[in-house]
Every structure is written in C-alpha cells, then in structure tokens.
Amino acid sequence: MEFSSQPLNDRWCFLKRIGKGSFGEIYSAYDMVLQENVAIKIEPISKDEKRLSLLLEISILKKLQGCPYATQFIHCGKNLHYRFLIMELLGKNLSQLLKEQTFHQFSLLTTIKLGIQMISAIEYVHKIGFVHRDIKPSNFAIRKNVQNQPDKELCCILDFGLAKRFLEKDGKYRPPRLGVGFRGTARYASLSAHQKQDLSRKDDLISLYYSLIEFLKGSLPWSHLKDRDEIMKLKIRYNNLELCQGLPPEFTQFFLHLQSLGYSDEPNYKYLRSLLRNISVREGFGNGKYDWEIQEEQMMSIHTDSKETSDSGNQIKIYKMETDSNGQINLKEFVTSFKNEKERKKKEK
C-alpha cells in the first residue's frame, strides 16, 4: 500500500512497515499528539464490505482494555481506502525473537516465563467470550520498559481477526457448528482445526502447547512441511506423549489436561500456570532474565572486551539443550567466535 507524506488525520506520520498479514498491514508511525511512536494496522475497504476482520479486532481490543496482556487501544477510523486501528507500539514478536536465538530455541526459563503470561493472555480473551483461533508465536509481542521498569517486560497477545464468539451475549454457550472451514495457521492449529471442526477454548491452548514445545525443541516434527494434510498426518502420529518426551514431566500433565477437555469445558488455566511455576521453583529460576536480555548483555560486554583483547579473546559461549537417553535435559557448551556468529546471523537473514 502506498501512502502520501500527509499525516493520517493530520496526526500520525507513517514511519515503516513492520508486519504484513493475510488481511492487512502494520506500520509504525509517529503520533504528533502523544509525541511517541505507535502502531497502525490497516485493512483495505473491500467493495462488498465482506471482510470485516479489523472491525472485529477493534471491538475485541476495546473489550480487552485493562488487561495487562493486551495492547493499548488509541484510536480507530476509516477513510476512502482503508480502515485503521491505532494502538500502542510493541517490540519484537516471539517468532522473531526465537529466530534470533542460537538453534532457534528458548531456554526453559524463558519458555516458562512466556508460557505463564501467554496462558493468562488467552484466559482474558476467553473471559470476554471469544476463542482466538490463531494462537502462534508471531501473535505475541513484548512490551518493553513498563513504566521504565525493564524487569516488567510483558508478553502481549495480538491479532483478533480470526476470533470467534463462543458465548452468546447473555452468557449462553453457542452450540458447535458442523463442517466449518479451516481457521488458523497450519503449524500451530489443533487437530480439530485440521478436521474442520468448530474450535473452542481447548484448541487455543493446544496451539499454545505446540508453541511451547517449539520454543524448547527449536522445531516441531511437522515444521518442515507446508501441506496441511501432511501436517495433519504427523499431528495424528504425535497426538500422544511422544511430543513432550525429554521435557520436564509437567509438560506431560499439561498435555493430559488439554486432552481431557471436551468442546464446551472450561480449561483450568490456574492449574496449567501452576505446572509451569512448579518447574520454575524446582529449577530455582527466580526472577531470571529472558534469553534476549542475556544475549543483549553478552553482546554489550563482548563489545567492551573486544576493544581490549586480541581476536582470540573475542568469543561468546553458546549452549545447546540436549536430551540424554534418560530423558534428562543437559546444556552442552559450544564456543563460537563473535565474528562467526555475526556472519551466521547475516546469512540467515
């Protein structure tokens, strides 16, 4: 989409495109009233107005105001060409952050910290009567520096364009529809989504479960596949405890709880969070830092060190998580030169 240099509504100056999805585009922009950068989500207005996903998104985001895991709503409107939503600008999404990690994995600590917040974010969406239907790492992004407290980074939920009401306005449960189309993203979709069934709260948490496994293992057994039916075949094969093999036993309990749920059952969010917290307590994680924070600190210290040391001293330590035959997770240490690491990242881009 091309924009004139004229600010939108004489207030928002477009800076750059930060995301592109199936329905619209996301830009960063400067808000001349708030005097800070914001995010603008744009959806072209279709002639028949059949595509109303941004309208749905706006109405859900408004309902979620006050939830710490939702972006702050600033404004919405439309002109001749597109409908727009102005909201708080967040940092990178979890898929981008994951790709920046060595071996595309998060540590157990980072996964648990994220997992607990992601469960809460999903719970908020369910509490207002909606199923998200597209839970995946790129639909969560980090809010940096909450009130200038860097340790209060929060993981926010995005993109309600595919959400669906499961409760009527009077609080009654909507009966499942038959033969609905596929909704979501093939890699993270639940088996019910593949089987074209109406989705419920359980399915959002199954997509979250797949995301957490991907965080820890670096990939899912079907990550290399594009074809939806092929992905479904592998999901059927791995619809058991094999997927969480080698991970702490709480992931087995997590999966068993999700498996026990029927279409209209309310998930036990508290129990799921407590499973992740148990791991954190056992491992003594305390208020540890996210992987990307540690990486940033390491980069800064390497930068300082490299000024004073020779090339051979210019190295960073990288750890790979491996599972041994007893199912025990071990950290294996690698040493890679800083220069090589930089080159590897360049190549990946």
Ligand X SMILES: Nc1ncnc2c1ncn2[C@@H]1O[C@H](COP(=O)(O)OP(=O)(O)OP(=O)(O)O)[C@@H](O)[C@H]1O
* CB 338, min distance to ligand X, A: 28
Closer residue to ligand X in complex, CB, 86/247 = 86
Classified as helix, coil or strand, 310 is: coil
Q: Are 281 and 273 in contact (CB under 8 A)?
A: no
Q: Hey, how many other C-beta atoms are within 10 angstroms of the C-beta on 49?
A: 9
| Chain-centroid distance, C-alpha 341 | 25
Q: How far apart are CA 168 and CA 130, in angstroms?
A: 10
Look at strands 164-165 and 25-31 and give their pairing: unpaired
Beta partners for residue 20, in sequence order: 25
* CB 88, min distance to ligand X, A: 6
* CB 23, min distance to ligand X, A: 5
Calculate the CA dihedral of residues 23, 28, 30, 31 and round it to 10 degrees. Answer: 40
Give the interface with ligand X as residue ranges (CB under 6 A).
Answer: 18-19, 21-24, 26, 39, 41, 71, 87-90, 93, 134, 138-139, 141, 158-159, 161
* CB 139, min distance to ligand X, A: 5
Closer residue to ligand X in complex, CB, 184/248 = 184
Question: How many C-alpha atoms does 316 have within 13 Å on its Cβ side?
Answer: 19
Residue given tokens 């199954």 in the structure block: 206
Closer residue to ligand X in complex, CB, 161/248 = 161
* CB 229, min distance to ligand X, A: 21
C-beta nearest to ligand X: residue: 21
92 is in an annotated binding site: no
Beta partners for residue 331, in sequence order: 321
Q: Are 44 and 82 in contact (CB under 8 A)?
A: yes
- Which residues are annotated as catalytic? 134
- Interior angle at CA 116, CA 250 and CA 237, nearest 5: 50
Token pair listed for 112: 């648990």
State the binding site for ATP. Answer: 41
